[in-house]
Chains A and B, each alone.
Chain A
Amino acid sequence: MIKIKNLNFSYPRKRQVYQNLSLSIEEGAVYALLGLNGAGKTTLLNLIAGFLIPQDGTCKVFGCEANKRDPKMLEEIFFVSDSGEFPNRRVKSFCNLYSDFYPRFNQTFFNDCLDEFGLHSAMSLKSMSLGEKRKVMLSFALATKCRLLMFDEPTNGLDIPSKATFRKLLASSLDENQTIIMATHQVRDLANLMDRIIIEHQGKLLLNEKVDHISEKLSFGLPADQVSDAHLLYKAAGFSKNETVSINCSNRPGQVDIELFFNAAITNPTEISRIFTLQN
């Protein structure tokens, strides 16, 4: 569905963000896009949406060159950016304005989402808090039923109950043809929804792996004194002795702690790359 090949990208007069990036994103999965600050998560979403133009290489979405912004491609994409700026209009008017362009837009579902978030369509976006505006955008995105939904920090600004509501709505609205890419630092908020994890590090793709495979190959949260040094990949320097990532010797898949896994990947990238075969 998305094929990125040998892509190079840098912003004018700034360091290189991506060098020779190759990545393939398949249909029907929820992807978590992880990376340190400045790793290029938002840049990657912008490249996929066609907002940025790579210096070299290609980024094809639904078979179209992303930066050409072909209507066929755009019909299947919705992107909720991390921006705090929103148009100043009522929710109903906002919905009327944009929904015409999305052939599968589900008005009933949109209203249901607003209800779940405790909002209604007569409210004005201008008078809403950042979190409320994001709820409207997230509701709209889900209601478009686009085949590719991209969220940049979707849970930023959401209160605790709303994070759970978003998880519930996302899980209930998805169908097997839809793909979600979420760039986030709040991995615990959305951990249960994620099918695949992409980690970017130092301008390169460090990992693009199914969560199931990670759980088969690695163990999380074992007490440090029960893990041999040979199998230990990461041990948190914090208070808990149980914050470890190690090779899974039991062959039984366990629960993946995405935060621990990310830390392990960033501190020990060579070893993580060796364990997982990158999919290009």
Chain B
Amino acid sequence: MHNTFYKILKFEFKQNILSWAILVSIFVLLVIWYMFQNYIDGSSTPFDFGGSAVPLTIIFSSLITLHSYTESTSRQSMEMYHLLPVSRNKKFFTKQFITALVFPILLLVLYLIIAKIMQFFVSEKHSAALFSPYIKPHHIAILFITGHAFSTLFAIVFKKNKLLYATVTFLALFIVMTMLVTSYKSFFGVTPPVLKLMIMPNQLNNLSMVVLFIFPIILYFISYRLFFRRQL
């Protein structure tokens, strides 16, 4: 049983490692470029942990999710993947495990490493901002899960049209982020009046928290049904 999980995990890594490496490299370069940009122009850094790092990580995580579900866009690869003698649950769980957990953690770890290095180059004020968590941890968790659930669903639904995927996914992510983040200012410095209506109250009550955790689970369930029950 563990053996097949290990096999499918190995399969996912072997199949995607090159593309993942490219995406992670772009992420790292963007982070470095962004940080240096802030350092050079002397602006207050928007690149704080609770600010841009989280959405950037989610965006890259969703790109990886898309890739993970669409790498096998060639008919033969897709058929071979579905014919691999591994249960559907393990196939789905492995993809989700990698894209929802391994990669976001890897990206955040990379961010933190870069931020740590950057500390030596920026002023004390900026240095503190590199790690300041403007968003509450449970909001970050919801943001990640919801973002990933949307990415999974749209990657499966729009796998033949990546532009549509990108548009719909990022629109959904943007709405979720706007709704979840207690202060829109943490992202962009100012809050456009039109978006004020979409921002949730600062304090989410327990019920809405539960609903917000259930919502992505429903999206995962739909994704699973679509990915495995749909005719190829």
Q: Which residues of A contact B (CB under 8 A)?
A: 46, 49-53, 69-72, 74-75, 77-79, 81, 83, 85-87, 93, 96-98, 100-102, 137
Q: Tell me how far the C-beta of B37 lies from the nearest C-beta in chain A, rounded to whole angstroms.
A: 35
Most buried by A among B4, B15, B77, B80: B80
CB pair A71–B75 under 8 Å, yes or no, is no
CB pair A51–B231 under 8 Å, yes or no, is yes
Q: Tell me how far the C-beta of B87 lies from the nearest C-beta in chain A, rounded to whole angstroms.
A: 5
Residues on the A chain within 8 Å of B73, using CB = 85
Interface residue ranges of B51-100 to A (CB < 8 Å): 72-77, 79-80, 82-88
A-B complex: 7 closest residue pairs judged by Cβ atoms: A85-B74, A83-B75, A74-B85, A75-B85, A51-B232, A71-B85, A87-B77
Residues on the A chain within 8 Å of B84, using CB = 74, 98, 101
Please tell me which one of the listed residues B76, B82, B231 contacts residue A53 in the complex, with CB atoms under 8 A apart. Answer: B231
Residues on the A chain within 8 Å of B7, using CB = 100-101
Query: For residue A52, which residue of chain B has the nearest CB?
Result: B231
Chain B, interface residues (CB within 8 Å), range: 20 to 34
CB pair A83–B82 under 8 Å, yes or no, is no
Q: Tell me how far the C-beta of A150 lies from the nearest C-beta in chain B, rounded to whole angstroms.
A: 10
Query: For residue B74, which residue of chain A has the nearest CB?
Result: A85
Residues on the A chain within 8 Å of B231, using CB = 51-53
Q: Tell me how far the C-beta of A176 lies from the nearest C-beta in chain B, rounded to whole angstroms.
A: 22
Task: Say whether, besides A79-B79, A86-B74, A101 and B232 are in contact (CB < 8 Å).
Answer: no
Interface residue ranges of B215-232 to A (CB < 8 Å): 228-229, 231-232
Residues on the B chain within 8 Å of A77, using CB = 83
Query: For residue B72, which residue of chain A has the nearest CB?
Result: A87
Residues on the A chain within 8 Å of B86, using CB = 71, 74, 101
Residues on the B chain within 8 Å of A86, using CB = 74, 76-77
Asked if B10 is at the interface of the complex by the 8 Å CB criterion, the answer is: yes
Most buried by B among A79, A96, A101, A102: A101
Task: Say whether, besides A46-B232, A69-B88, A101-B7, A85 and B76 are in contact (CB < 8 Å).
Answer: yes
Asked if B14 is at the interface of the complex by the 8 Å CB criterion, the answer is: yes
Please tell me which one of the listed residues A51, A81, A93 contacts residue B76 in the complex, with CB atoms under 8 A apart. Answer: A81
